[in-house]
Structure 1
Amino acid sequence: MPDTEIAGLFALDGPLAATSASYRVRASQVELAEAISDTISRRATLVAEAGTGTGKTWAYLVPAFLRGGKVLVSTGTRTLQDQLFLRDLPRLRDALAIPVTAALLKGRANYVCHYHLERLEGEEGGLRSRAEIGQYRRIQVFASQSRTGDRADLSEVPEEAEIWQRVTSTRENCLGQECPRVRDCFVLKARRQAQEADVVVVNHALFLADLMLREEGVTDLLPQADTVIFDEAHQLPDTATRFLGTSVSTHQLLDLSRDAQAAGLAHARERCNWGEVAGKLETAARALRLACAPLEKVPGRKATFESLANLDLPDFDAAVDGLKTALFHLEEALAGVAESHPDLMAASRVAAQLALRVQRWARKAGEPPVQAPRASQVLAPAPLATAVVAGPPPAWEDLVAEVVSGKVTPAAALDVQDDAPARPSAAERLAEAAAQVPLALPADTQAVRWVEMGMHHVRLHAAPLSVAEAFSRLRPAGQAWIMTSATLSVHGDFSHFTSQLGLRDAQIARWESPFDYVSQGLLFVPRDLPLPQSPQFTERFVQTLLPLLEASPGGALVLCTTLRAVERVAELLGKAFEERGWNWPLLRQGQAPRRELLERFRTLLHPVLVGSASFWEGIDIPGDALTLVAIDKLPFAPPDDPVIEARLRACKARGGNPFAEYQLPEAAIALKQGAGRLIRTERDWGVLLVGDTRLVDKPYGKRLWRGLPPFSRTRDMEEALAFYQRQGKADGTEETS
Structure 2
Amino acid sequence: MTNRFVVVDLETTGNSPKKGDKIIQFAAVVVENGEIKETFSSLVSSHKPIPLFIEELTGLNNDMLKDAPTFSEIAPKILQLLDGAFFVAHNVLFDLSFLQEELIDSGYEGFFGPVIDTVELSRIVFPTADSFKLTDLSIQEGLAHDRPHQADSDAYVTAELFLILINLLKGLPEVTLRQLLKLSGGLKSDIALLLDEYVLGKSSARDVMPEGLEIFQGLVLRKKEELEEIDHPSEGIYPSTTEEKEAMFQKAFKDYEKRDGQVQMLDHVYSAFQEERHALIEAGTGVGKSLAYLLPAAIFANNTNHKIVVSTYTTQLQEQLLSKDIPLLKKMVDFPLEVVLIKGRHHYISLEKFHQSLYEEEDNYDTSLTKMQILVWLTQTVTGDYEELNLSSGGLLYWNRIKNDSSSFVNDRSWLSHDFYFLIRQRVNDAQIIITNHSLLMVDLNAENSILPPFEYVIIDEAHHFEKAVGKSFNQSIDYLSLRMLLSQFGSTDQRQTFFEFEQILKKLTIEDDEQLLHSFQMNQMIAELQFELDDLFRAIALFVKKNAKKGNQRLIKRVTHDESAKEWNSAVASAERCQFLLKDLHESLCKWVDFVKSQQFTLDEHQKITMNEVISFLDEIEQIRTQMKNLIIQPLPSHVTWIEMDGRATQNLTTIYSQPVIISEFLKEYFFEKKKSAVLTSATMTVNQSFDYVLDSLGLGKKDCSTLHIPSPFAYKEQVQVLIPEDLPEINKVPISDYVAAITEHIISIAEVTKGRMLILFTSYDMLKKTHDLIKESGLLDDYVLFAQGITSGSRSRLTRNFQRFEKSILLGTSSFWEGIDIPGEALSCLIIVRLPFTPPDDPIAEAKGELMQANGQNPFSKHSLPEAVLRFKQGFGRLIRKNTDRGFVIIFDRRIVTTTYGKAFLKSIPSVPVKTLDINEMLTIIEEWL
What is the TM-score when the length of structure 1 is the normalising length? 0.80
Matching residue's letter, 1:334? L
Match of 2:18 in 1: none
Match of 1:405 in 2: none
Contact 1:553 1:627 in 2 (8 A): no
User: C-alpha displacement at 1:137, in angstroms?
Assistant: 2.9
Matching residue's letter, 1:276? Q
Q: 1:154 aligns with which of 355, 366, 389?
A: 389
Match of 2:55 in 1: none
Alignment of 1:231-246 (within 5 A): 231-246=461-476
Cα distance in 1 for partners of 2:360, 2:529 equals 21
Cα distance in 2 for partners of 1:296, 1:136 equals 43
Q: Which moved more, 1:666-675 or 1:491-500?
A: 491-500
Q: 1:468 aligns with which of 665, 670, 679?
A: 665
Match of 1:360 in 2: 631
Q: Which moved more, 1:249-258 or 1:527-536?
A: 249-258
Higher normalized contact order (CA 8 Å, seq sep 6+, divided by chain length) = 1
1:530 aligns with 2:764: no
Change (3 A) 1:352 1:252: same
Contact 2:341 2:434 in 1 (8 A): yes
Cα distance in 2 for partners of 1:285, 1:243 equals 26
Match of 1:429 in 2: none
User: C-alpha displacement at 1:281, in angstroms?
Assistant: 2.8
Change (3 A) 1:727 1:528: closer
Matching residue's letter, 2:709? A
Secondary structure of the equivalent of 1:618?
coil
Cα distance in 2 for partners of 1:487, 1:466 equals 21
Q: Which moved more, 1:485-494 or 1:14-23?
A: 14-23
Cα distance in 2 for partners of 1:180, 1:641 equals 49
Cα distance in 1 for partners of 2:913, 2:285 equals 13
Contact 2:312 2:462 in 1 (8 A): yes
Cα distance in 2 for partners of 1:480, 1:56 equals 18
Cα distance in 1 for partners of 2:701, 2:624 equals 32
Change (3 A) 1:86 1:462: same
Contact 2:720 2:888 in 1 (8 A): yes
Contact 2:583 2:622 in 1 (8 A): yes
Q: 1:330 aligns with which of 577, 582, 586?
A: 586
Match of 2:127 in 1: none
1:225 aligns with 2:225: no
Match of 1:319 in 2: 575
Cα distance in 2 for partners of 1:603, 1:566 equals 22
Match of 1:376 in 2: none
Match of 2:615 in 1: 344
Matching residue's letter, 1:707? S
Change (3 A) 1:723 1:93: farther
Structure 2 residue runs of 5 or longer lacking an equivalent are: 1-236, 492-496, 507-515, 598-611
Match of 1:386 in 2: none
Contact 1:281 1:330 in 2 (8 A): no
Cα distance in 2 for partners of 1:714, 1:324 equals 61
Match of 1:167 in 2: 399
Q: 1:55 aligns with which of 281, 288, 294?
A: 288
Cα distance in 2 for partners of 1:640, 1:124 equals 51
User: C-alpha displacement at 1:165, in angstroms?
Assistant: 4.4
Matching residue's letter, 1:194? V
Question: Deviation digits for residues 403-458 of structure 1, max 9, x if unmatched?
Answer: xxxxxxxxxxxxxxxxxxxxxxxxxxxxxxxxxxxxxx6xxx52211222245333
Secondary structure of the equivalent of 1:29?
helix
User: C-alpha displacement at 1:527, in angstroms?
Assistant: 0.6
Cα distance in 2 for partners of 1:39, 1:574 equals 54
Matching residue's letter, 1:223? P
Match of 2:900 in 1: 697
Q: Which moved more, 1:234-243 or 1:504-513?
A: 504-513
Contact 2:366 2:395 in 1 (8 A): no
* RMSD of aligned residue pairs (Cα, Å): 2.8
1:584 aligns with 2:584: no
Cα distance in 2 for partners of 1:599, 1:32 equals 32
Match of 1:366 in 2: none
Match of 1:492 in 2: 690
Contact 2:297 2:308 in 1 (8 A): yes
User: C-alpha displacement at 1:185, in angstroms?
Assistant: 3.5
Contact 1:173 1:347 in 2 (8 A): no
Contact 1:559 1:632 in 2 (8 A): yes
Match of 2:134 in 1: none
Change (3 A) 1:313 1:360: closer
Matching residue's letter, 1:146? T
User: C-alpha displacement at 1:515, in angstroms?
Assistant: 1.1
Match of 1:450 in 2: 643
Change (3 A) 1:15 1:726: farther
Cα distance in 2 for partners of 1:302, 1:549 equals 35
Contact 2:366 2:394 in 1 (8 A): no
Secondary structure of the equivalent of 2:268?
helix
Match of 2:342 in 1: 105
User: C-alpha displacement at 1:302, in angstroms?
Assistant: 2.2
Secondary structure of the equivalent of 1:225?
coil
Q: 1:71 aligns with which of 302, 305, 308?
A: 308
Q: 2:559 aligns with which of 297, 304, 309?
A: 304
Change (3 A) 1:6 1:596: farther
Contact 1:559 1:612 in 2 (8 A): yes
Change (3 A) 1:179 1:617: farther
1:517 aligns with 2:517: no
Cα distance in 2 for partners of 1:681, 1:249 equals 44
Cα distance in 1 for partners of 2:719, 2:748 equals 22
Match of 1:88 in 2: 325
User: C-alpha displacement at 1:243, in angstroms?
Assistant: 1.1
Secondary structure of the equivalent of 2:675?
coil
User: C-alpha displacement at 1:32, in angstroms?
Assistant: 0.8
Cα distance in 1 for partners of 2:880, 2:501 equals 54
Alignment of 1:396-411 (within 5 A): none
Change (3 A) 1:554 1:579: closer
Contact 1:628 1:688 in 2 (8 A): yes
Change (3 A) 1:169 1:179: farther
Q: Which moved more, 1:178-187 or 1:490-499?
A: 178-187
Cα distance in 1 for partners of 2:683, 2:266 equals 14
Q: 1:609 aligns with which of 782, 788, 812?
A: 812
Change (3 A) 1:240 1:154: same
Change (3 A) 1:112 1:48: same
Alignment of 1:257-296 (within 5 A): 257-261=487-491, 262-268=497-503, 269=506, 270=516, 271-273=519-521, 274-294=523-543, 295-296=545-546
1:25 aligns with 2:227: no
Cα distance in 1 for partners of 2:403, 2:357 equals 18
1:502 aligns with 2:736: no
User: C-alpha displacement at 1:319, in angstroms?
Assistant: 2.4
Contact 1:257 1:279 in 2 (8 A): no
Change (3 A) 1:305 1:266: same
Contact 1:622 1:680 in 2 (8 A): yes
Contact 1:50 1:485 in 2 (8 A): yes
Q: Which has the larger radius of gyration?
A: 2
Change (3 A) 1:67 1:17: same
Matching residue's letter, 2:534? A
Match of 2:187 in 1: none
Contact 1:589 1:612 in 2 (8 A): no
Secondary structure of the equivalent of 1:640?
coil
